[in-house]
Structure 1
C-alpha cells in the first residue's frame, strides 16, 4: 500500500465507460472486475495481469452532469479530515463532503487552487488499492 503523500489510486471518469473499457482492453490488455458501489451503481476495477491498476468511474447518471472525461488521481494522506482542513485553508475547495467507502477508505474530492480536481484518501488499514 502507498503511504502518506504518495499517489494511491487513479480512475478514469467518463460518461461512456464501455468505450474506454474497450479502448484499454485492446491497447494495453486490461480486464475488468465489476464492483457495485454503495449507491447501487457499477464501478469497474481495471486489472493488468490480474492485479488492480485503476478504475473506471461512470458519470452517466444523475447528479454527475457536466463532469468532463479524464483521469482522477487519489493522493494518500494520513488524516483526511485534518489534511482537508489544511487544504481548504490554503485555497482548495472541497467539492462534496468527505465520505467513507467501506473497505476502501475515507475520501475527499478537492478543487486545487487553479481549478484542477484531485482526490485524497486515507485508506482503510491493510488494504491494497481498491476502487473509489
Structure 2
C-alpha cells in the first residue's frame, strides 16, 4: 500500500540498458522483466526477491540529447490532477502533463519551485 507524499518509484534513465542491467544484476542481484513501451521500446523492471525494486528506461531520441544518465524519482500523490494545480500555484512547472499507464497509475513530470525534476503519480 502507498501513502500520499512518499517516494514510490525510482528509475534509471540510461543510454545503455544492457550495460545497466549487467551492472545491477551483478552487483545487487537484480533480475529484470520486460514491459513494452507505447511507441516502441522496452522498459525494464528491476526485481529483487521477486519484488519490484525499480526500473530502467533507455533514453532514445532527440528529447534526451545531452542528458546525462541519472536516477529519477516518483512521489505518490492522492490525486495527480489536483496536486499539480497546487504545485503550479506554488511555483512548479509541469514538463509532461498527466498520462495514464495501465495497471501502473496516472503520472506527470514536473520541476519544483527550485527546478528539481521529479515525477508525481497516483498509483493504480
Aligned residues: 124
Indicate yes or no: 2:83 matched with 1:53.
no
Distance 1:31 1:12 in 2: 15
> Does the Cα contact within 8 Å between 1:16 and 1:60 map onto a contact in 2?
no
1:31-71 Cα deviation digits (max 9, x unpaired) = 10011012222000001111111000111234333333111
Q: TM-score under structure 1 normalisation?
A: 0.87
Indicate yes or no: 2:70 matched with 1:70.
yes
Structure possessing the higher relative contact order (Cα contacts under 8 Å, 6 or more residues apart): 1
Q: In angstroms, what is the RMSD of aligned CA positions?
A: 1.3
Higher strand share: 2
The 5 Å alignment of 1:117-132 reads 117-124=117-124
Unaligned runs of 5+ residues in structure 1 are: 125-132
Unaligned runs of 5+ residues in structure 2 are: none
Q: TM-score under structure 2 normalisation?
A: 0.93
Distance 1:67 1:85 in 2: 27
